[in-house]
Structure formats: C-alpha cells, structure tokens
Chains A and B, each alone.
Chain A
Amino acid sequence: MQIVTLKVNGESISVPVEDNWSLLRVLREELALTGTKEGCGMGECGACTVLLDGVPINSCLVLAREMDGREIRTIEGEAPQGELSNLQQAFLDNGAIQCGFCTAGMLMSARGLLMRNPDPTEEEVTEAICGNLCRCTGYKPIVAAVLDAATREKQHGR
C-alpha cells in the first residue's frame, strides 16, 4: 500500500493504493466514482476513458500508484453543479445514448477532443472515438452529437 494524491475533478484526494491497482479500480472502488465503467479491463473497449491532464486515456491500463499529483477528470466532473454541458445536452438531443454503458467513456473522449480542437471535422471526431466501442447506437448519432456540441460550444462555451 502507498498513498497517492490525485486531483480528481478539481478536488485533491489522498488514497491508499496497492501496487497493482489500476486507476479505474481506484476511481470506482475506492472513490465511488462509478460513472466510469469497465467493459473489458484490458484496454480494448474505451468504457473506462477519463482525462489525464486533459488527455483521454483508458483508466484500466494505468496504475494508480503512478498517478500521484496528476489531474484526472471523469464523467462526474462534466456537470459538477448539475447543469449539463453542451456536450452532454448534444448527446441527449442527438439520440447518442441507448444503454448508456459506453456513454461516460464516449463523453470523455469527446471532451478531450474538444479541449484540444474546438472545431473538429467529422474525420477528427471519428478518429477521437475510434477506441470507444458502442454496441447499441451504431455510432452515427454519437458522431453527430460531438459535431453538434462543437458548434454549440463555439457559440456559448461549455
């Protein structure tokens, strides 16, 4: 066990972790941030995507003990005061959600994209979410939602 201090959704949290615990496990099991999902635990599905210093990563693949001092953003940080971001609203309006199990990971990949590229092309959106599997929606509504969100956020901010 060792103590790591993570900055999660803007809040500093110190948490004891075992050497082999993934960041995903610590978020879900130790910090009760269950919005981030596990679909495979092996880096193959993207359900566990969070932002690490602003960059989308598979949180099942990184060790928590190496995260000391790093900044992590999860789905729970997307609407901290309960007010939806334009990205979330665009997911609702474009039918980009069915079962919802991929949704948190999709939103985080999309958020990472919009942070580095506020005006993405369809191809750039495709590239950004190609590591996120969705078995329900057929992806088209998700791509539409991200493009729609980019337009809205250019006009109104997040």
Chain B
Amino acid sequence: MADDVIGKSIPRIDGLDKVTGSAIYTADMKLPGMLYARMLLSPHAHAKIVSINTDRARSLPGVKAVLTGAELPYRVGLYMIDKPILASEKVRYFGEPVAAVAAVSEDIAHEAVGLIEVEYEILEPVLDAKKALEPDAPLVHEQLHTYECVKGVFCPMGGTNIANRFQLRKGDTEDGFKQCHKIVENEFYAPQVQHVPLETHSSIAHWKPTGNIQIWTSAQSPFAVRNLLSVALGISHARIRVIIPYLGGAFGGKAGIHLEPLVALLSKAAGFKPVKVTATRTEEFITLPCRQGLHARIKTGVSREGRILAQEIEYIWDAGAYADYGVNIGRASGYSGAGPYDIDNVKLDSYTVYTSKPFGTAYRGFGHVELFWAIESQMDMVARELEMDPVDFRMKNLLDVGSTTVTGEKITKHTGSVRKCLEAVAKEIGWAKDARPAKETNGKIRAKGIAVLHKAPAMPPNTASGAIIKFNEDTTVDVLVSGVDYGQGTATSLSQIAAHALKLPFEKIHFIWAKDTDYNPYDWQTVASRLTVMGGLCILRAAEDAIDQIKTTASGALGVDKEELDVDDGRVFVKGDKATGLDYKNVIMGYMFPNGNSIGGPVIGRGSYVAEGLTNLDLETGQGLPALCWTYGAHAVEIEVDTRTGEIEVTQLVSAFDVGRIINEALCRGQVIGGGVQGVGTALIEQYVYDGEGHLLSDSLTDYKIPTVRDVPHEMKQIFVETPHDKGPLGARGVAEHPMISVPPAIANALFNGTGKRIKALPLSPENVFLALHEDSKKP
C-alpha cells in the first residue's frame, strides 16, 4: 500500500505556511532587547587600512558596540581558512566589511557607521585572473603560505595569487595529439554572476553571559555554521546552537558561513544582547559572495572519424578576494571538467586565483555551469570543423557502459545514461541534421542548439549525514534530518521516502521543518544535490531500525520469532496472516501485557550514512574516485534572434535528466523549470560589471537584471530518464543543480547554427550578439 507514495506528485509540505504568509524567515524575527547591526564597507578594491577612528560612532547615543578588524584576530573558511570577519590591515575588495556597529535601531546603526573615519592607502587592484598569474602581479594574500587548508586535497601556492592548483593527467596527450586529424583550440569566458536569492542574508546571534551562543540564520547548513564558528573562535560545539527558520532561496550562496560570526561577536561586545543584521540588496551584491568567473582554454584533437583522441584543458577561476569555498570549485570542476566524454588522453589544469573582487562561492552547479559553457561550445565547434552533425559527434564520444572517466572511474549500467538524455531532447525538439543555414524572416532567425551535461556531488570523501525517526503516541512520526529545504522540495520527497519505508500513509509523517543543531542529527551541508540521496539513505536506515524495534517488541508480545513478523499498513503481524498481530499503536510506546507488565519502549529509529568508497585524488594525476553518483542530462533549445537588435528569445527549452527514480514528479519538474530559467539568466543577461578601479557597477536589481516572467522560454518540456542508481535511495539521484548547467552553450550553439556567429564570452546579451552579427560592417 505505502508503495504508491513514491513517484506521486504530492504538493510540498511547506506550501500552506508560504501561501498564507505565516512562514517565518530570519528577516522576520525580532527578539526582546534586540539590537541592529550595520557594516561599514570598503570604498576601494585594494587598499591598506592606515587608521580607523571609531570615537564619534561610539559616542552616538543608542550605539552599543563598534567593532573593527583589529579587534577580531580570527579567520574563517570551509576548505581554505582565508577570510577575516572584518578586514584588518588591508581591504581586498570593494564592499568588504571594515567595521560594524550594533545599535538600538537600524537608523542609529546606519548613522553611526557614517561617523567612522578610515584612512586608506590605495594599492593597485588585480582585476583580471589571468593577469593575477603574472609574476609581477600584486598579491591579494601576502600570507597565503601560512593559511590552513584541507591538507592533501588543496595545493595553495604561497607567494602567488594561486589559492589552489588542481591537475589531472590521463594517458598521454602529447602522443594523442600526434595521431589527430584535426586540432581545435579555443578560449572561453564566463563572468562573475550572482545567486540573487529573493531573501538577502540575515542573521541574529545572541551571545549569552553563560558563554553559550544561539544563532538564527538564513544559512543552508546549520552544522557547517556551527563547526566553522567553533573552529574560528575556539568555542566548543556544544556551546553553539544554530537554528535555521524558513529560508528564502540560497542556490549555494548561503552555504558555508557568512554574517554569523560578525553578529555573534557584536552580541558579545554589546553586553550579551541579541544582534541582528540583514543585508541590503546592495550589500548582497557587493559584500556577500557571487559566482566565480572562468577563463577557459580547450584544445581538442580528433580523428578523421570524429573520435576525440586528446584534450588539453586549462581553467583559470577568478575567485575574487577569498577562496575559502572557491578552491573546491576549482577542484570539482577539474575532476569532472572534460565533460561526460570518453577520452583516453586528457591533461587538465585548474587554477583558483585570487583577485581584488567580491569573492565567489558555490552556486547551483558548483563550477559546472561555467565549465560546460566552455566544453559544450567547444564540442559544437569541433563537430563543425569536422563537418559533422553535433549530435552525431557527441554520440561518438559520450561515456557509455564500460568506458572510463577522466579520474579512472568505470561507468556501469547503474551510472546513468547521458546518451539517452541527448537522444530524448534531440527527438523532442525535432533535431534535423541539415537545418543550416536558417531562414531569415523579418530580420528574425530561428535556430536550434543542443548541449549535454553531468555533475556529481562535490564534497569531501567522508561527508556524512544522519536521520532520526521518532514515533508519537498516535503513530504519527517525527522525521528529523538536518538538510535544509530552501525551496527544492526535499522535505516533501524525504517525507515520501519515510512513509514508504515505514509502510505508513503519507499523512502520518511529520517532517520537522526548522533545523536546530541542539536537536537535529548531524548533517555536513545542504549542497551539491546530495540531500535526496544522502538524507534519503539515512531515512531508509532509520526506518529499518525503527521497524526492527517494532518487531522486537511485537515478538515479545506475540511470542513469535522476530523473523516471522512483517509490517504493513501501520500493523506488525505474523507473515502471511495479517489478523495475527498488533497495531503499531500498541507497540510504538512499548507493549503492555494484560497484567500491566510492559516491554519495549518508545521507538526511535536512527540512520546514518557516510559517503562510501570515495577517495582523495592523486595530487599529480587527479586519479581516484571523487563522485558518489553522477546525474547526466541534456538540453535542446530553439531560439529566435532578432538580427536588428541582437535580442535572443528562447522559444523552446527541452531538458532531459537521468534521475534514477522519480520520488516526486511535480517537484522534479519544478527544479528543472526553475533551474532552466536561471540558466537563461546566466546565458543572456547576467554579469558583474566593474569600472577600471574595481568598483562593482551592477550593484542593484536595476543594474543587475535577473529573468522576469517575460524572459521565460515560451515552451518548456521536461523529460526524465530512469536508470536506477544502485547506491541511491530507491534508485534516486539528485537533480537540483543540473537544470541550470549547459543552458548557455545550448543557446550559443543555436545562435551559431542560425547565424554562423560564435560568441565565446558570456552573456549573450543583445549588445554582444549585435556586435557579433555586425562585426564585418564595423571594419573600416
């Protein structure tokens, strides 16, 4: 019976709170005696802090605390501990917090910040990641060689701007290139962009006189916040409590740790009063993190028949001022950076490079949107060079059962199929091999393009999760995990998995929404599309544990061997004889015999999971097993480009993903539609724009546009391939990030197919497209 809940489009369990306005987000919260914080931001991209005078700010009535970097000798970071809480000695980007005030009102805090005087000595900024690699480039972090980072995984290069160097060597590219019929080499660029969650970052901290710290925050990962704070401040985990209320969008930008340490320290400095900070939209753009930029160079060698024989790839990541998270994007994009292709000889170098710009962090796709911009543009260019159809060319080279990935992983029949995804989208969009050149009507050209993608969760090999299942007296069940649902719908699909595993109706599942490190079991982070997989596996194990307890009690009560018992429909009974048994109700709090003797006790199931079988990668060759599971996909688009304005309209977007097994179809579609449109944003509109001194000009929603309802592809179609994943829960894989990946190259490929013009730097804005279309007429 309970089986039918899997695959069902159950509406999200948090929907009711959200349509009625009763969902409380951090920004909505107010505590008694709460103070408000504001930050003073750096007006320079790179400058020495000569002096800071806070006297006038401190003496403003209503001001309770003022902090500067000199008072906070801490650094924080997830993979690379490189980030101060407030800049001290020097500022590394325009918008970096330099000082902060806590006051009785937002207005007073704002006024006080204006009274802080800072003297700067301007230094030369490094605004281009490629230039940052030059030997005489100014250093963003002079002390890089002293920073701590995850050893054996990252390779920072002290005395340079390279926060991490990742390299991968498979086969022999030199030899491979010698065999090639053609060699095609291109450079691509993806600028920094931003997550733009509708809710800006917001945190409240209360440092109590007991030394305990309580935090409410708009973070993706409660335990990561707790751990990083504990490590940075040298305070026991047990003294820190992190609570995550409803979260208004995150997309990676709220992973790791952000404003939490600052408000915690302000709370302490203000005499143990709670302090809240909510970023303004401008601060969200200039102070909080963005997505890294990427300079890519790809050299591909192919045989006459269209097989890729060798590929050389260089990724230079524009990390911005800090790379605490960025180093792992450089690494993850390295080990999956050749795309889902079967290539014998690969040489790949991925550098995460500091610049004097806002810093990059995880953003839906974790480097893959950017790297696939390069790979999938390149694949079409190589196909055209060979005068081959781009679909045929890919089919000749895509991974298949039995092939080996660039890190040496064998593809099995459980891995998933990128071929099926590509076939599905090509068929659906009506891919025709001889569609070029396209016809022009009224200055408008319609054309189609395709691109494929893959991604696996990028995380340390020992990443762990836990789940707890507690029965209530009336046989409803509390389910506790610590992954955060900020819109993906995972809370609902995990509830479905719980109902399925416990053989209970869905209505019995009470998924505990708020995440609280005091009560919830450990979970590393809510990132990397890993929650359905790892959270799901934990819930299956916790359910198994709970059922085992139910059977143990029932076995004592019925005098029947435990192995003889079965459960279904909220009942435990003798196998094949549903009538001989007990309702859960009589077992889950313990069983009482007629004489009052009791056995058992409350049923509390426990499940935990650590990513099994993964390895660190060899530092020289990048060989090893980094991926828990791959999700493959493909997009096909049809666009209409207006040759007079350069405007691109996406008329169709067809997407296919191998999700293993669908847990909740409507929620899956929701991810694919939302991610697809976010991909259109990266493709057509979004980019960080600076002046020559490194001041970010696109610092508001007027100057940094994201898609509105008018920018949505006219028709969108989602196709799900289901190749069950042997290690996923019930065969499922994650699909939260993937829909965004490879939308940009599919559009650029369509643009080429329609106009013969190839654009290699994002975005495909009207201006850039217009210039590309009219480049010949520009020439004198």
Residues of A within 8 A of B (CB): 28, 33-42, 44-45, 47, 74-76, 78-79, 82, 84, 88, 91-93, 95, 97-104, 107, 126, 129-143
Contacts and interface: CB of A to CB of B under 8 A. Distances in A.
B287 to A, nearest CB: 15
Nearest to A131: B708
Interface string B660-684: 0000001101100111111000000
Contacts of B22: 35
A41 to B, nearest CB: 7
B776 interface: no
B534 interface: no
A131 B677 CA distance: 16
B365 interface: no
- Name B's interface SS: loop
A7 to B, nearest CB: 18
Nearest to A145: B19
A64 B215 CA distance: 32
A91 B15 contact: yes
Contacts of A91: 15, 19
Contact of B198 (A35, A74, A84, A133): A133
A86 B489 CA distance: 22
A132 B708 CA distance: 7
Given A75-B21, A101-B199, A40 B281 contact: yes
A44 B248 contact: no
A39 B486 CA distance: 16
A91 B251 CA distance: 22
B701 A99 contact: no
Given A34-B28, A88-B20, A135-B197, A130 B281 contact: no
B702 A141 contact: no
Given A92-B19, A98-B674, A37 B667 contact: no
A11 B12 CA distance: 32
Nearest to B666: A95
A27 B196 CA distance: 24
B587 interface: no
Nearest to A102: B198
Interface residues of B, number: 54
A94 B709 CA distance: 16
Contacts of A42: 281, 700-702
Interface of B: 11-12, 14-25, 27-28, 195-200, 246-251, 280-281, 486-489, 666-667, 669-670, 673-678, 700-702, 706-710, 712, 716
A140 B143 CA distance: 49
Of all A-B residue pairs in the complex, the 8 with the closest CB atoms, nearest first, are A35-B21, A101-B248, A98-B487, A100-B18, A99-B487, A75-B21, A138-B677, A44-B701
Residue of B19, B24, B200, B712 with most chain A CB atoms under a 10 A cut-off: B19
Contacts of A35: 20-22
Contacts of A45: 198, 281, 701
A91 B248 CA distance: 17
A36 to B, nearest CB: 7
A29 B358 CA distance: 31
A32 B708 CA distance: 29
A41 B280 CA distance: 8
A139 B653 CA distance: 14
Contacts of A133: 198, 701, 706, 708
A138 B27 contact: no
Contacts of A92: 11-12, 15-16, 19
A101 B248 CA distance: 5
11 contacts: A33-B21, A34-B24, A42-B701, A75-B20, A78-B21, A92-B11, A98-B674, A101-B25, A131-B708, A135-B674, A136-B249
Given A44-B700, A93-B11, A84 B20 contact: yes
